Amino acid sequence: MMSFLISDAVAQGEAAAGAGAGDPFLAMLPLVLFAVVFYFLLIRPQSKRQKEHRKMVESLAKGDEVVTIGGIAGRIADIGDNFALLDIADGVAVKIRRSSVESVMPKGTLKDL
């Protein structure tokens, strides 16, 4: 009776081994699809945002009204290669990194400066 059970187990093992040997391309297909979805949902949009931000930072000029990443709003009084001097109130200026500018606001937004 024991030999009968053992032979069933061996037969099941051989059937499972035969069914698992498939096309290696089909085994890699889910990984490839995952990589493509990952690229289009995460990597591509992030690189597009970085390119737009870099273009905006390069086009900054004296007199532009901007908001920094930290939420400070002001007008650019002086601008250099890496830093900008930002007027945030009468007689108050802050030196910031150019890359910390989050957005440029329309002219006239900051009326009290």
The 3-state DSSP class for residue 3 equals: helix
DSSP per-residue letters across 10-68: HHHHHHHHHHH---HHHHHHHHHHHHHHHIIIIIHHHHHHHHHHHHHHHT--TT-EEEE
Would you say 105 and 89 are in contact if contact means Cβ atoms under 8 Å apart? no
Please say if the pLDDT value at position 1 is more than 70: no
* 34-89 confidence digits (pLDDT tens): 999 999 999 999 999 999 999 999 999 999 999 999 999 999 999 999 999 999 99
How would you classify the pairing of strands 83-89 and 73-79?
A: antiparallel
Mean pLDDT over the full length of the chain: 86
Would you say 67 and 103 are in contact if contact means Cβ atoms under 8 Å apart? yes
Please say if the pLDDT value at position 96 is more than 70: yes
